[in-house]
Amino acid sequence: MKCLWAALLLVLLLVGSGLAQSESSAADSLGIPGLDLLLDREWLVQASPEIQLPEFPLDPASLVVRAEGRRLEPGVDYLLEAHSGRIQLLSSGDLGKTLLINWRVIRLSLPATESLHPEGSLPWVGPEGVEEDSLAPALDPLDGDGENTLRYSGSFLRAIRVGGGSGVGMESGLRLQVEGQLGRNVDVEAFLSDRSTPLLPEGRSESLEEIDRIHVSVRSPHWHTLMGDFDLSLADRHYLEYQRTVDGLEGGWRDRDNLLRAWGALARGRTRRLELAGQDGVQGPWQLLSDQGRDDILVLAGSERVWLDGLPVSRGEDRDYTIDYSLGQLHFTARRPITADTRITVEYQYSERVYNRRLLGLEGQASQGNFSVTVAAASERDDPDNPLDQFLGDEDRLLLAQAGDSPEGRLGSGARLTDPGDGSYRRLSDEGQWGRYEFNEDPPDSLAAEYIWELRFTELGRDSQGQFLGDYERRFTTAGRPWWSFVGERAGAWAPVVPLAAPQQLDVVDLVTRWQPGIFRLELESAVSRQDQNLFSGEDDQDNLGGALRLGLGLQGRRALALGRVPLGRPRLNATFAGERAEFRSFSPSDEIEFERTWGLSRQGAEDLLRLDLEAAIEQGDSLAQRARVSLLDRGDLTSRMLSLRNRFSPLRHTRVDHEGSWRRLREGLRRSDWQRVSGGVEQDLGPNTLRAGLDSETSRELPAAASASGLRHTEWQLAGWRPLGDWLTLRLDGSRRLRQTLEGTPGWQDLSTTDTGRLRMRLNTGNGLDGETDWSHRETRWVRGDSASTVSDLALLDLRLSARDVEGSLLYRAENSLVQDRITQYVQVDSLQGDYSPDPFEPGIFVPDPDGSWVALSYDTGTRRRVAAVSLEGSLRLTPPALPGVASDTHLELEGRGPVSSPARLYTLQPGTVLGDSILSGAIRVRQDLELEDRADRTWRLRWNEEQELDRRQLQNPLRRTLREWGLRCRTRTA
């Protein structure tokens, strides 16, 4: 596939030249070559309190902002300064979400390369008058106009590393970027990244650097083509929101009012949505699984989207979570404490490609005045004739054909033949349910030819009577490698079988019609879906088709209402009716998650769904905003009613008040569920000081028919203040207390935990090149369990940053103390090219991610939770004097101890003996030092020293002690 895109790049140059000529002729027919005073722009950005658009000024009426598919309302959700391109978000609930922003830039000046008359060609008007034909337009081409202006840049990487005394390794890499113009108004951009080592980017920061990627983009004012690896998305509709990372081709055309695009691609991995129930104090690791429940998966870098309690969170050690893509494990930072009532939702793509998945789609839009029609279709289909990561025999296909749309629980053989001597198992007899196999890691030469089997096992556990379902039990070699031993029919929990995956197909067609005459708005959206959960079977296909309909009516007042002499603001009324068949399915995870967060139930059910939303709002700039919404939902014998109110006003000149409340009651038979959330705050200016006090409370109660009530309550009080200290320094102080309570069959609420958080921030900006920032945080949690209580200081964070004209420096200190789910990872050899890991050639017992490897990682839960204390220290210093080579130094020190930690205070003061002592179950010390030098020849030299010490007593035989030392020298040469 990669070679195909490289070949298509040559064809691209020819296509681009043709596009350039067509665009030039179209522009010349207007008399002004390539001139367009209005430019459409689209931008994906993470939501922050203030967003600066990269291009401005803009037409205010053209701005459309969407958060996870939901369109934000101007004046209610955000404010816009059209002349400066600045957007201010008013709703804290949108922070951290991914925003899709569309707007139209107004060009106030002509580019230097565009003119009606070249310089010096204007007619000369003298006493004799104007010569004949002297006023005829002169359209002589300017220098360079219409020529190709491509710019090439990139870097070559060469590196050598020496590690652990076990050998020398070489590393090479190439990054190439091409950008520029293929003729007039045709922009091209191509990106190639390739590395000779099987590495994955770390999921510990917000931005990622993809490895082994090819992307080609060609754009003109009306045409665009994307090839290779790119992100595919559909938005601005309710029933067909689509976002995938694909490898394929997309082409499209658009003008000011019309749009047409189509795509065809192969999915880079399978997409799955996983819901997890939180546990008190367990920050991770949370294991991501395949559709068959396997945990030996490789998550595609950057493909994950994570929600906590229905709200999106962001990746990064200084944000909400980190992720290990190679192990498929998620870990939440101490900024996001996990409790028993936390709902974790993750959507991700993983590398297990059981079948080739084909993606096809089409989108078209036509507009005329205030009327527009948009149609979109998307299809995902597995290829049942070419399974990739599983072998399907005739018996397996027959099992799937008989399973209908419920193939879960169907098991196929986990035995695979290998060449003589390459297997780890030999078959002894037909004893048991699946045969008796014997394991030998290093068989003698006389028997090597009999070891022709590799087995993959699945844990079947016990039945409802406690009887084992398998014939094997798991054991471990002295090196920690798991193997399985035959113990008799139905005498063990394991079996040499694997879950069978059925090929699936989902097609969705969506039609949206919008009409907006004056102050009125009418929107009609209809969608049809077809889902087949098992292409091998024709059974249960009667419920494959589903439909949905949504009708929206709106009224936006242009004049402000008044009560006597008191102005109220402009009114806005909205009414939405929606109906969905129970069989309807969509690709949109964010819409389903928002539905579950709003209504407290799953969007997919056995009954048809009817929903009515009524909304009334009055808004007047930033000083007044009021909104009331009533929502009704019916699904069979289930009914839900919800009321939400939102107010924002300024009762006094320097006082701002905001309040938001939601109340919901759900009934299903004799069962009743109540939920409410209230949040708000008051902000007051006191001279140069600003103070803010806030409250956030959420309560849920379950009232079953024949049992006592149960419920949970969260209450958080917030206090913040900030003020400028002179012209250079700004100080901000934040504090909060969060109380968590439970109602377990008692008339009153019982305390579970109390969390106190304090944060101090200082920002320095001198205006003459010296900038700095200090951020210190501390959090302490008090847990109440029965008659006992324990206090844990689970977060201490200090972040110092300083930058001057030629100097940049930073220091980050982080200490955490939390509970984690104890997991052990083992590596198992499988068929060639069927695994995700390969042994490290320089360090025995170490495995590195490799999409074409022959080993898989099996991470299993030990069933225990352990206290983990960890501390890390990171420092960097960069010198960039104008006349000397640039010098940079980065230091990283990390200590981690897995309980019981006898003295967290010693750990927090960076005493290494604390994490490798006799009382520690497992511990690690990691040190990395980088020294980087950038010379005048655009070469960057980096010297790295890396050392790791680990102690792990969780192994079943001997404790594992490992020390790794590595030196590396890398040279990166940039080209331009």
* pLDDT per residue as tens digits for the range 883-899: 777 788 888 787 777 66
Instruction: Summarize the confidence of residues 596-620 as an average pLDDT.
Output: 82
| Cross-strand pairs, 275 | 345
Per-residue pLDDT, 183: 74
Does residue 208 have a pLDDT over 50?
no
Per-residue pLDDT, 196: 46
**Percent residues over pLDDT 70 in the chain:** 73
Between residues 269 and 844, the one the model is more confident about: 269
Instruction: Summarize the confidence of residues 404-430 as an average pLDDT.
Output: 82
Which burial class, exposed, middle or buried, applies to 309 when counting CB atoms under 10 A from its CB (0-12, 13-18, 19+)? middle
Per-residue pLDDT, 769: 65
Instruction: Summarize the confidence of residues 715-736 as an average pLDDT.
Output: 87
Angle (nearest 5°) at CA 110 between 107 and 113: 135
At 908, the pLDDT band (50, 70, 90 cuts) reads: low
Per-residue pLDDT, 126: 41
At 846, the pLDDT band (50, 70, 90 cuts) reads: low
Max mean pLDDT range (169-183, 718-732, 808-822): 718-732
Placement of tokens 């979400």 in the chain: 97
**pTM score of the predicted model:** 0.67
Per-residue pLDDT, 589: 57
Between residues 280 and 304, the one the model is more confident about: 304
Distance of CA 463 to the CA centre of its chain: 38
907, 923, 906: which is closest to 959 by C-alpha?
Answer: 923
Does residue 468 have a pLDDT over 80?
yes
Max mean pLDDT range (147-161, 413-427, 931-945): 413-427
Per-residue pLDDT, 502: 83
Q: Count CB atoms within 10 A of the CB of residue 681.
A: 18
Does residue 548 have a pLDDT over 80?
yes
Instruction: Summarize the confidence of residues 61-90 as an average pLDDT.
Output: 79
Give the integer Cα–Cα distance in Å for 208 and 220.
28
Averaged pLDDT score across all residues of the chain:
76
Query: CA–CA distance from 837 to each of 168, 209, 323, 855 (Å)?
Result: 20, 20, 17, 5
Between residues 627 and 114, the one the model is more confident about: 627
299 Cβ neighbours under 8 A, 6+ residues apart: 288, 323, 325, 328, 348, 349, 350, 351
Instruction: Summarize the confidence of residues 657-665 as an average pLDDT.
Output: 90
Does residue 342 have a pLDDT over 50?
yes
Does residue 510 have a pLDDT over 90?
yes
Does residue 843 have a pLDDT over 60?
no
Does residue 140 have a pLDDT over 50?
no
**Structure confidence by residue, pLDDT tens digits, 356-405:** 888 999 999 999 888 999 999 999 998 888 776 666 777 778 888 877 77
Question: HEC string of 319-331?
Answer: CCEEEECCCCEEE
Per-residue pLDDT, 132: 41
CB 270 within 8 A of CB 350: yes
Instruction: Summarize the confidence of residues 717-734 as an average pLDDT.
Output: 86
Per-residue pLDDT, 479: 58
Per-residue pLDDT, 907: 63
Locate 496 and state its tokens: 């040499």
Per-residue pLDDT, 525: 95
Q: Count CB atoms within 10 A of the CB of residue 147.
A: 12
**Percent residues over pLDDT 90 in the chain:** 14
Instruction: Summarize the confidence of residues 543-548 as an average pLDDT.
Output: 89
Domain boundaries, the chain: 270-352, 411-499
Per-residue pLDDT, 7: 47
